[in-house]
Amino acid sequence: MRTTALVGSLMFVGSGISVAQTTVTGNLDLSFKNVQSKLYPVQSYQGFGKESQINIQTKGKLNNGLDYAAGFAFEYDGDDNGKNGTSGWATENTYIDFISGGTTLTIGIDHIQNPDSHAFVNMSGVGYIGVQGAGVSNPGQTAGGADKFGMSIYPTNALSQYQAPGIGIMQKTDVGTFSLNYVPTSAWTAVDFGTGKSYAAGTSNLSILGADIGNSNSVTLYEGTGEASYEFGFTGNLGVKGLNVMAFYNTSNETDANVGGAKYTGKVLGANYNFGQFSVGADWRKQENAQSGTSNVVATGKAVGIAYAATPNFTLGAVYGKAELGGTASYISGYTDVEKTKIISAGYNLGPVVVNAQVRETKALGGSSSVNGEPKDAIVKVSTKF
């Protein structure tokens, strides 16, 4: 009898899906990048990049009157050779939402609002403020001081755990949207100031995404080495036309990877304001990787940007950013220079296709002029959605 009821309910769910509002969309980005390093010419390179994604989404009404939405995405970045999913497959925007008016309860991955964007200041450019992959090393990036291919120390997502499975709530108000996200197992347990996603002892905690619905059970699949994390967030205009503001704070207990129950924390404040053809923006980020109760690494970044809409479809922009390392960890002693980045960018809207281009110069990349020098890079990205 119980089995019959279950089968009947599943048949009903299937019939409900057939009349739900389901959409399939996608996006494709192709880019060409050129990196030049005078200090280490062997690190100069050029080539194409790719990001492709298919999104499947549905929404409708529950039988109790609440709204719901659900979806997932197939993202495939970079190399198309498909080596066992290691060449770019990623989990994107997987979620089920329960919605009542302006309140949304969300369960999933990479769906709740988060601070993983520098678009508040790099308004017509491409991606993050800090250059990635333009130097030789930066031991301030990983737990224990292991060398990492040279990247900017400007924090990207400031240790936001939004890409790990979690549950959160979002509340829309007249001034903006407030959110709280809870992640039972943090997706990374060490700091990579270039991407925010380095892993302790070379072990990716993203293996937690390998857990199925419950038939395969193990500590490795469900927990790994990460502990719980929380993130509080806000995005909105505070009731002021032309203003956009974001504020985020996250904290993670990393008791398995670190000594003494040390915490990771991330803080982000950003804003931009549009008046006529001009927009101005500012960004501030700080993240702390606590190696133990007495050793930590702190990265702080701040930037300002301006954009000018020369025509309705053509925008010019400029960004100036600074970042530096601090803390008590001994291995960052040689990486205490102030990293300075300048960006000049342009964006051209062709309707269904958008072209963005930027040139960037970074001094003291990774916090060291002597180790990584002052590389320059340029990138052109062509994007479309369908």
pLDDT at 307: 97
Q: Is 11 helix (H, G, I), strand (E, B) or coil?
A: helix
Q: How many domains does the chain have?
A: 1
Flag whether 37 is in a domain: no
> How many other CB atoms are there within 10 angstroms of residue 129's CB atom?
27
Range in 100-109, 235-244, 326-335 the model is least confident about:
326-335
Flag whether 342 is in a domain: yes
pLDDT at 225: 63
> pLDDT at residue 317 above 90?
yes
Tell me the one-letter amino acid at 99: I
- For residue 153, the enclosing domain spans 115-385
pLDDT tens digits, one per residue of 31-81: 999 998 888 777 788 999 999 999 999 999 999 999 999 999 988 887 665
* Confidence (pTM): 0.86
Tell me the one-letter amino acid at 25: T
Could you tell me which of 266, 291, 289, 267 has the C-alpha nearest to residue 159? Answer: 266
Flag whether 78 is in a domain: no
CATH number at residue 181: 2.40.160
Interior angle at CA 183, CA 297 and CA 175, nearest 5: 90
> How many other CB atoms are there within 10 angstroms of residue 256's CB atom?
16
- Output the six-digit token pair for 149: 């291919």
Give Cα 66 to chain centroid, integer Å: 30
Q: Is 315 helix (H, G, I), strand (E, B) or coil?
A: strand
Sign of CA dihedral 242, 122, 25, 205: negative
Over its C-alpha atoms, the chain yields an Rg (Å, rounded) of 22
Flag whether 89 is in a domain: no
